[in-house]
Amino acid sequence: MTQNKSNTNRKIGVVINMTSLLVLMIISEYTFKYDRNTVLLIIGLAALVLILISFIFTYWKTRLWHFVHKPIRKLDERELQITGNLLRIAYAIFTVIALSILLLSSLMEMQVSIVTVSALIYFSHILPATVIAWKGWSWV
Amino acid sequence: MQSRKLFNRISLLRIERNVSRKELAEAIGVNFQTVGYLEREEYNPSLDLALKISEYFDLPVDLIFSIKPLKPLSDELKELKNKKGG
């Protein structure tokens, strides 16, 4: 029961984190290209705060961030196996998303803003932990 | 590749010898959570780790690990004794 509750909480955390990241990227691209106004700035800041809060509760306190950033020499064989699987999935997701953004920006003849690039860097680091947060440990 | 489920007696032997998961984990060089996964038969160890475990308990590997559900240790020892006697 408690396990199910924590799994659901983790999934909610992932949804909040990823949605806020997407909102932040869209707003930054919009303001970068078209219009800068106070309402968009406030929504952007709210998204940033949500990213921070959901990061603390979903990745930091659950130690998922620490697990995926542990040095290889400190991992045992089971952890190495999990990390290998996580990185394989994360690499596939990240390359498709990052290259799609680049392709889209090239097709639309649009410059990618610094916020989007920073968001992608954050996304690449958070993705392996997101896979565990979403699917749990038992699937490996 | 999906590997076969391995059955083991790690939990039984650890409790019998009054060793904590942390102590066993330190002795065989893994995280204590990995010992939990091994005991619940949710993770199949490598050959190296299986040998380390058998060295630690000073028992043959096939007495600790099996691809078939394990019989009680007393039955196994009785069979071994009978084999030696016969």
Hey, is the C-beta of B20 within 8 angstroms of any chain A C-beta? Answer: no
Contact call for A77 and B46, based on CB within 8 A: yes
pLDDT at B70: 82
pLDDT at A2: 64
Top-level class of domain B7-85: mainly alpha
First to last CA, chain A: 22
* This prediction's pTM: 0.78
B-chain residue closest to A78, CA distance: B34
Residue A76 in contact with partner chain B when CB distance is under 8 A:
yes
Domain chopping of chain A, boundaries: 2-135
CB contact under 8 A, A77 and B45: yes
Q: Average pLDDT, whole number, for chain A? A: 90
> B34-77 pLDDT, tens per residue?
999 999 999 999 999 999 999 999 999 998 999 988 877 777 77
Euclidean distance between CA atoms B76 and B63, whole angstroms: 8
| Confidence at residue A56, expressed as pLDDT on a 0 to 100 scale | 96
Question: What is the pLDDT at residue B86?
Answer: 57
Task: Specify the amino acid at residue B56.
Answer: Y
Contact A77 B31 (CB under 8 A): no
Give me the residue spans of the domains in chain B.
7-85
Chain A, nearest residue to B46 by Cα = A77
pLDDT bracket for residue B85 (50, 70, 90): confident
Task: Encode pLDDT of A80-122 as tens digits.
Answer: 999 999 999 999 999 999 999 999 989 988 888 899 999 999 9
Amino acid B74: pLDDT: 77
The rounded Cα A140 to chain-centroid distance in angstroms is 20
- Separation in Å, CA of B42 to nearest CA in chain A: 8
Number of H helices, E strands in chain A: 5, 0
Determine the distance in angstroms separating the CA of A92 from the nearest CA of chain B, rounded to an integer. Answer: 19
Residues of A with CB below 8 A from B46's CB? 77
Task: Note whether A72 contacts B: Cβ–Cβ < 8 A.
Answer: no
Query: A-chain residues within 8 Å CB-CB of B43?
Result: 78
How confident is the model at residue A32, as a pLDDT?
79
- The pLDDT of residue A38 is 86
- Rounded Cα distance between B1 and B77, Å, is 34
Q: What is the ipTM of this complex?
A: 0.76
Mutate to test the interface with B, among A78, A80, A139 (most CBs of B within 10 A): A78
Mean pLDDT computed over B18-31: 94
Look at residue A7 in the predicted model and tell me its pLDDT.
83
Which residue shows structure tokens 């932990």? A129
On whether the CB atoms of residues B31 and B25 are closer than 8 A, the answer is yes
